[in-house]
Structure 1
Amino acid sequence: MNIRVVIIDDEPLARLAVKVRLAQRSGFELLGEFADGASAYEGIVALKPDLVFVDVEMPGKSGLDVMAALPTAQRPMAILLTAYDSFAVQAFELAALDYLLKPVDDERFDEALDRAQQAFPYRCRGAAATVAPALRSFSVRNGSRTVLVPVADVERIEAEGDYVSLYANGKTWLVRERLHNLAKQLDPRHFHRVHRSAIVRLDMIAELRSLTNRDALLRLRDGSVLRASRTYVPDLADALQQRDARTHS
């Protein structure tokens, strides 16, 4: 199921930059674009997008005004765009999915789309959408043999272009699959994406240490150290708290 997108920005070049980047990613469908708040509000109500890229500051009704005017139940996921960082409080009050400062670099844009894809299944569940069963094992070629690696044995997964490396029981297995596809198939109660290039099994995390730029360092039980992007840190912290609550319940 594609994530349906609307772009709201009064600058034509800014809208074009989002469209070009969006076209490079699978799983997203552009429904329309709007240059002012009034038409954007009507467009969201009519098109019912799953995700909006919305400029915070526009003539007349601002992007924040548009989002605030929508009933909470009708409010799509939002990625806010702005040249200033003074709107962060309002962004979090509106439960914005991400907050991108202009000019947006490619890595931050990709991280925002990754976060949208990660959040999308949970929003769909409230609308009675079906979610694929969690992956149980990986089929891995080992010479002339095919080996089944149980997902429960996998400690972390790292991207290697069109492949991923599975780390399990002291061994590393190479699988032809994109990381963002695997992220949608793994059980979120046990695995969590911590970076655009890494997924970690939650019970492998021994320590999470916050950094000044809102990223975090993860120390795993096998001694490995990974960097968690600030895009994923809030959801990762929530997932760890929920895991701890289940463990002690």
Structure 2
Amino acid sequence: MKAIIVEDSRLARNELRELLKPHKHINLIAEAQNCEEAISLISEEQPDLVFLDINLPDGNGFDILEKLDLTPQIIFTTAYDEYAIQAFEVNALDYLLKPINPQKLKRALDKTLRETPPTPSSDSISYLDSNNKIFIKDGERCWLIEIGKIRYFENCGNHAQVFFDDSKPFIYKSLAKIEQRLNPEIFFRVNRQQIINLNFIKDIESWINSGLLITMTDGKEIEVARRPATRLREMLSL
């Protein structure tokens, strides 16, 4: 399992590196000292696991997660327990207070063996798998949500609104950029304003001008124009 440490303290990095030595399934491939380095390394190396300090010289760990297209498994490591509730709201694997207790580290690493997500495709176009997670931060609230649990995205100018469970936060990426990473066998661009998860369709009926009217599982009605409706009929053998 490829791992990266994000920590501004050299002493803390050294201590964590030593604590990880007995855990042979952890392959420590890189270390970062700040947000800028971390974003670059995580994007390039695509690690399975990140040990993430929260307070960093140029921001915090949540700033890093917000800028990633694909979020790896996260174990927070910090001296400040005020962030504990926020960390667990984003479903981090664990939250370890410094100095790190070896037994608590072992328990956190045991979770990684149970929750390792599928490795992204190595094809030229790497779509996000349904089990892959993305990090969303809207105001003070944070989520780490599986792609497959998102019902639909709606366009809001240069950002988008994401609908899942009982939440509908905003993500500061355009719908076009989001669409590039979504698996077209699962997500479908029904019009300029919306991308839907085909698994959350409740009902489809014919609509005006050879279009379709889709009802989602949450009751949302979405109109599909003629051209995308033709493609959708072919996909779903309607």
User: Normalised by the size of structure 1, how large is the TM-score?
Assistant: 0.46
User: Normalised by the size of structure 2, how large is the TM-score?
Assistant: 0.48
